[in-house]
Amino acid sequence: MSDGAAKVSNVVKLLSASAAGICGTLVCYPLDVLRLNMQVSGEMGKKRKSVTTLEFAREIVKRDGFLGLYQGLSASVGRQGLYTGTRLGLYQILTDKYSENNTIGYLEKILIGCVSGAIGAIVGLPPDVILTRMAVDNRLPVNERRNYKHVFDGFRRIYVDEGILTLYRGAVPTICRAVVVNVSQVVSYFEAKHFLLRNGIVSSDNSICQLSASLISSAVATTCTLPVDITKTRIQNMGKEEGGVQYKNMVDVWYKIIRYEGIFALWKGFTPLFVRNAPQFIVTFITYEKFIHFFSKLGG
């Protein structure tokens, strides 16, 4: 658990997690835009020449200018405030609660990670749908673009034009992804930190310890989450086609990706996601730890 977390209130834990998530996304958002654009490229056998992360970045800047790398930032801030605030804050709350009088085991931590991740996904899903659409909007033909002004405009227009259930489109892959993310990211972070301290690799729970644990966590999370992440992205971005929707469910997305693009396309966007995850995890976790430490000194 975070040093000093037991001394602060549950509200502080949730708010600290939200603030940390927002700080992380402000630092690394352009890489998220690259990842989303890479994941929707090549759909249904559509061929393209640009395949590398650098080529995608050049394409976006050429087409939309440098600010094109920040498309959908307001939605990302809203998503992180709700999603990371819930999944990280709730994980801390539950682990603190169940470890008060008992030693909490690894399996219990995984279960708590699954529960807090799933709840975080549900809470943060509406801005996540808007984020996906805003980040890749300029890839669409001009007459098909949504042109959301900001996250609140996205909420309003989706609710009016498509119905409230559209804000929860891709719920199953999003929840599955969040469960995988929370276990592979949050659980691995705290376990890595505990391992480093227990074995004397670092002397104390300081910034070096937190940075090292964040890097380990980013490597684990990137590998585990990409196949589910690309499924979520494709479903949230899809439009209506003659005879129905483009994808029926998660399995259908995986089938079509493997059929048209090859099995390794399930890890498309690995480079920007890993490069994004490492600094974002570092900023998020260290910021979170600092917030918790600060408020614990104030009496939480």
Amino acid in the structure at residue 298: L
Whether 75 contacts 130, CB under 8 Å: yes
Please report whether residue 1 resides in a domain.
Answer: no
Output the CA–CA distances (angstroms, integers) from residue 18 to 1, 11, 89, 285, in the order listed: 17, 11, 8, 11
pLDDT of residue 50: 46
Q: Which domain holds residue 214?
A: 9-298
Q: Which two tokens stand for residue 202?
A: 């670092």
- In a domain, residue 2? The reply is no
Residue 294 belongs to domain with CATH number: 1.50.40.10
Within-domain flag for 265: yes
Look at residue 242 and tell me if it is in a domain.
yes
Task: Identify the burial level of 153 via C-beta atoms within 10 angstroms of its C-beta, where 0-12 means exposed, 13-18 middle and 19 or more buried.
Answer: middle
User: Is the CB of residue 16 less than 8 Å from the CB of residue 291?
Assistant: yes
Q: What is the pLDDT of residue 37?
A: 76
Half-sphere exposure of 144 (CA within 13 A, CB side): 12
- Digitized pLDDT (tens) for each residue of the chain, 300 residues in all: 666 677 789 999 999 999 999 999 888 888 878 877 777 776 555 555 545 778 878 888 888 888 888 887 888 898 899 999 999 999 999 998 888 777 788 899 999 999 999 999 999 999 989 988 888 787 788 888 888 888 899 999 999 999 999 999 888 888 988 898 899 999 999 999 999 999 989 988 999 999 999 999 998 998 888 888 888 788 877 766 555 667 888 888 889 889 888 888 888 878 877 877 899 899 999 999 999 999 888 865
d(CA 272, CA 226): 11
- What pLDDT does residue 90 have? 95
User: Does a structural domain hold residue 222?
Assistant: yes
Residue 3 falls inside a structural domain: no
pLDDT, residue 49, reads 53
- Domain contains 13: yes
Whether residue 4 lies inside any domain: the answer is no
- Read off φ and ψ for residue 186, nearest 5 degrees: -70, -50
pLDDT for residue 223:
84
The amino acid at residue 100 is: E
Q: What is the pLDDT of residue 300?
A: 57
Domain count along the chain: 1
